[in-house]
């Protein structure tokens, strides 16, 4: 793989995970970090031995940069992404791509106009257990899929939301538990089972104050393949529980509990612990609990390989819009108290 120089915009907690993932890649260098707060940039620069900057022109003009990762609040991804693309650098953004479909589409168009690649971080797709689960479903081992369940029963303290003014806001966070915490699992569900046809949702804010977004949500889904499903998401559950996805087919069941995959099907004489990994899915009770950089490293490796060979990046901007659309349609459904047809919802906003 060719040498790539990568810069990071933003200095929040997740940046250390990105920086560590990048540092583990061969022939790839973390070059610099940018923040409007120079002290924050310097703190990270000392930790990872890179250049710190609070001057945009200085940062983006660095000739060593090939790729820039955006780790700022979600509602600013378009603003930074456009400027990065216009500078001729490839763009990587943390999930979600943006807080509206319209802004996400504008970012996609900016990258295409400037002939640079765009990728969105959904690192859970790169868990070996998630890949095996998808392959099991696609290979027909569970038979026809008819039911799915996704549970993200986590906890975030009031102090978490109070720690940054943008958390839980509609403009910068896009909402609450669904768009920030649960979207990773929603993306996995859509990735494994295909496109969603309709959603019906209910949301509420029960245990936190001073936030515009929800801390609890429930939604039902109907997929285009006919299967139905449920999403339960919260940042209010005590105690916090591991993420859990259950996929049920006519021949058996696949369960991703935390980072452990369990297969229960007719073809298996007994339950197969495909990966009896007892390590919890990170982030249940605190943002970076038990968090490792390995899945991020795998996605970065795939992104850079796609850039080098001029291929579509995993996960592309267009693909990431589909997971965002599910979340936004659930919000719309809760507001209108009626089912929402997802293709029509997307068409209405993007044409």
Residue 105 near residue 347, CB atoms below 8 Å: no
CA distance linking residue 30 with residue 48, whole number of Å: 8
Cβ neighbour number for residue 72 with a 10 Å cutoff = 23
208/141 same-domain check: yes
Give the residue among 98, 89, 75 at the shortest CA–CA distance from 117: 89
Q: What is the pLDDT of residue 271?
A: 52
**Mean pLDDT rounded to a whole number for the chain:** 93
CATH number at residue 242: 3.30.360.10
Range of the domain at 61: 4-123+295-314
179/45 same-domain check: no
Q: What is the pLDDT of residue 284?
A: 72
Decide if 231 is inside a domain: yes
189/331 same-domain check: yes
Average pLDDT of 24-33? 95
Decide if 93 is inside a domain: yes
- The DSSP 8-state label assigned to residue 226 in this structure reads S
242/106 same-domain check: no
Decide if 308 is inside a domain: yes
Answer whether residue 290 shows pLDDT above 70: no
Decide if 350 is inside a domain: no
Name the region of 310 (left: φ>0; alpha: ψ -120 to 50; beta: rest).
left
pLDDT in tens, 228-244: 999 999 999 999 999 99
pTM for the full predicted model: 0.94
pLDDT in tens, 39-89: 999 999 999 999 999 999 999 999 999 999 999 999 999 999 999 999 999
Average pLDDT of 310-334? 97
- Cis bond leading into 74, ω under 30°? no
Decide if 351 is inside a domain: no
Residues 6+ apart with CB under 8 A from 104: 78, 96, 97, 98, 317, 320, 321, 324
Percent of the chain with pLDDT over 70: 92
Answer whether residue 5 shows pLDDT above 60: yes
Q: What is the pLDDT of residue 44?
A: 92
CATH number at residue 41: 3.40.50.720
157/116 same-domain check: no
Q: What is the pLDDT of residue 287?
A: 65
Count of structural domains within the chain: 2
Average pLDDT of 133-160? 97
Tokens representing 18 are 């990105």
Residue 76 near residue 172, CB atoms below 8 Å: yes
189/245 same-domain check: yes
172/274 same-domain check: yes
E strand or H helix at 79: helix 77-86
Decide if 74 is inside a domain: yes
Answer whether residue 351 shows pLDDT above 90: no
Q: What is the pLDDT of residue 3?
A: 86
Place 13 in a pLDDT band, splitting at 50, 70 and 90: confident
Cβ neighbour number for residue 149 with a 10 Å cutoff = 15
Answer whether residue 280 shows pLDDT above 60: no
337/223 same-domain check: yes
CA distance linking residue 283 with residue 334, whole number of Å: 26
263/307 same-domain check: no
Decide if 222 is inside a domain: yes
114/160 same-domain check: no
E strand or H helix at 190: helix 183-193
Torsion, CA 142, CA 123, CA 172, CA 119, rounded to 10: -110
151/281 same-domain check: yes
Place 288 in a pLDDT band, splitting at 50, 70 and 90: low
CA distance linking residue 135 with residue 179, whole number of Å: 26
Answer whether residue 251 shows pLDDT above 60: yes
Decide if 147 is inside a domain: yes
119/194 same-domain check: no
Residue 189 near residue 98, CB atoms below 8 Å: no
């Amino acid at each position: 793989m060719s040498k790539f120089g990568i810069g990071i915009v933003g200095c929040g907690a997740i940046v250390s995970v990105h920086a560590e993932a990048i540092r583990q890649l061969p022939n790839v260098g973390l070059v610099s970090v940018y923040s409007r707060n120079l002290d924050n940039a310097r703190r990270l620069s000392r930790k990872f031995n890179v250049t710190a900057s609070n001057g945009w022109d200085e940062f983006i003009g660095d000739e060593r940069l090939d790729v820039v990762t955006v780790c700022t609040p979600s509602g600013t991804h378009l603003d930074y992404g456009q400027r990065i693309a216009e500078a001729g650098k490839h763009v990587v953004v943390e999930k979600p791509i943006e807080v509206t479909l319209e802004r996400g589409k504008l970012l996609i168009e900016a990258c295409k106009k400037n002939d640079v690649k765009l990728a969105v971080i959904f690192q859970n797709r790169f868990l070996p257990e998630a890949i095996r689960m998808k392959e099991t479903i696609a290979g027909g081992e569970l038979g026809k899929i008819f039911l799915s369940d996704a549970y993200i029963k986590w906890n975030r303290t009031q102090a978490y939301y109070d720690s940054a003014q943008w958390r839980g806001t509609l403009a910068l966070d896009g909402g609450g538990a669904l768009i920030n915490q649960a979207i990773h699992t929603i993306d996995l569900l859509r990735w494994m089972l295909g496109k969603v046809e309709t959603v019906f949702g209910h949301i509420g804010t029960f245990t936190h104050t001073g936030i515009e977004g929800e801390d609890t949500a429930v939604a039902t889904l109907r997929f285009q393949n006919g299967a139905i499903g449920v999403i339960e998401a919260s940042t209010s559950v005590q105690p916090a529980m591991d993420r859990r996805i259950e996929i049920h087919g006519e021949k058996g069941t696949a369960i991703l509990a935390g980072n452990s995959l369990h297969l229960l099907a007719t073809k298996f004489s007994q339950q197969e612990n495909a990966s009896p990994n007892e390590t919890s899915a990170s982030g249940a009770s605190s943002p970076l609990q038990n968090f490792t950089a390995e899945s991020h490293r795998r996605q970065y490796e795939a992104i850079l390989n796609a850039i080098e060979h001029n291929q579509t990046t995993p996960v592309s901007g267009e693909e990431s819009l589909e997971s965002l659309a599910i979340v936004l349609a659930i919000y719309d459904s809760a507001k209108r108290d009626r089912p929402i047809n997802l293709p029509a919802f997307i068409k209405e906003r993007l044409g």
